[in-house]
Structure 1
Amino acid sequence: MKLRLFPQEPAGLVLLAQLAGQILAATGTMSEILGAPASEHDRLAEELHEHESKSLDLHFALLTHMRTSFVNPLPREDMYALSRHLNDAMEKLDAAGELIALYKLDRLPKRAADQLEIISRQAELTVDAMQKLNNLDELEDYWIEMLRLAKRAERTHRVWVAEQLRDLKSAQYARHRDIADQLVDVTKEMRKVATQVGSIIVKES
């Protein structure tokens, strides 16, 4: 039997999908940063700031919608948690790009691109999942795949940090470690989104 939670009011789910979409769009900008010379980083970092600003606007729009809508597609506390984790993920991705610009790093190791690939995949899956929250039977695979990606991100982070510690001097290591930590934190926030979805599935099953 398919589970449906108040499909009459889908606007909140649209806003959640748009929040995830901002993260996906921001991964494109971050990909440009990883491939661009340091002279281009400030401009691209500004593009990331714009994505972060749009994300915050969507977060506030969802809060307003929940306060003014009589029927929401999910309990308000669940919608708020999903929105907060998505916005936090965007903030951390923005911070990673800003650090690259501030540190004037010309190149980052392949591990950075690996983490960005994971974040992009997490965002793609989450855009789709947010649109299906009124049909929870379709979301178990999302939950499982997001946890698998998060574990992959944690392993990539451990290897990246170990390689940095081995290959870089202390000042360089500190700069690269900051960025590595920000990127893995993005994947952790995306995992929290999936965990919240899992909680919703369990509560409504």
Structure 2
Amino acid sequence: MVQFFSRLFPTRTERPLSDLLSELAELLVQAADTHSKLLGNGYRERTRIAPTLHEQSTVAEELCRRIAQRLAHSLITPYEAELLYDFSLTLADVVDAMEHTGELLVVSQVGTLPTPLLDAAKGIERAAELTVAASWKLNDTQDLGDYYVQIRKLKRQGERLVRQSLGALYKRGGSTQELLPLHDVSESIRHTIALQERAARIADLLRIKDA
């Protein structure tokens, strides 16, 4: 893509598209930090932290709406616009997935989580940090470098950690009432990891298109 942001014409009352995308990516980092705190605490603290994650999800949706409005009035190609909109929606979906995990923890009152799931949450934080750095380079996608490769590595690591957690859970055994909430939380974390990889893949499609 040839400096496509330079072909956008923001109004005086709206920020440039590049700023909105970066703000959304930075919100992802904040949500990932909230998500890790929620996973690492007990029930009482989780009930206090969960509303923050809900608010971050709401803000992410609003940013997506503003990004869609900017794209509707931009002069970039329909293909680029579709990819950028899909990228922003996927980032919002990541935040929504983390909120979903938080809701599961609060509603089911799950106790201390297995260490592998806490480690997987750290990987989600790292992927969010890489996504922020990538969002700053979307005006010249050739600068994205190995962003997608790094996210793929984090995805494989995160999925392995989730499998370890599930394996230990089934090995330990117990009633369905005890096992199901932890299983649902593990699968929600896996979904979050998969969405982060999807966002990175969309950004990589922009890089390939502009190669």
Q: Which amino acid aligns with 1:6?
A: F
Give the letter for the 2:62 counterpart: D
Helix, strand or coil for the counterpart of 2:4? coil
Deviations 1:132-163 (A, max 9, x none): 01222221211111111111111112111111
Give the CA deviation at 1:34. 2.5
Shift of residue 122, structure 1, vs aligned partner: 0.6
Partner of 2:178: 172
Matched residue, 1:36: 41
**C-alpha distance in 2 between matches for 1:108 and 1:123:** 22
In the alignment, is the contact (CA less than 8 A) between 1:17 and 1:126 conserved in 2? no
Q: CA deviation at 1:11?
A: 2.0
1:182 to 180, 188, 199: 188
Amino acid of the residue matched to residue 51 of structure 2?
E
1:149 aligns with 154
Q: Is the 1:14–1:130 contact (alpha carbons within 8 Å) kept by the matching residues of 2?
A: no
Alignment partner, residue 57 of structure 2: 52
1:29-57 deviation per Cα after TM superposition (whole angstroms, max 9, x unaligned): 22222332312222211111001011111
Once residues 37 and 142 of structure 2 are traced to their aligned partners in structure 1, the CA distance between those partners, rounded to angstroms, is: 37
Match of 2:4 among 3, 6, 25: 6
Deviates more, 1:162-171 or 1:57-66: 162-171
1:191 equivalent to 2:197? Answer: yes
Counterpart Cα distance in 2 of 1:95 and 1:204: 35
In the alignment, structure 1 residue 104 sits paired with structure 2 residue 109: yes
Among all aligned residue pairs of Structure 1 and Structure 2, give the percentage whose two residues are the same amino acid.
25
TM-superposed deviation, 1:71? 4.7
- Tell me if structure 1 keeps the 8 A contact 2:104–2:185: yes
Q: 2:71 aligns with which of 58, 66, 77?
A: 66
Equivalence for 2:12: none
- The amino acid that maps onto 1:181 is E
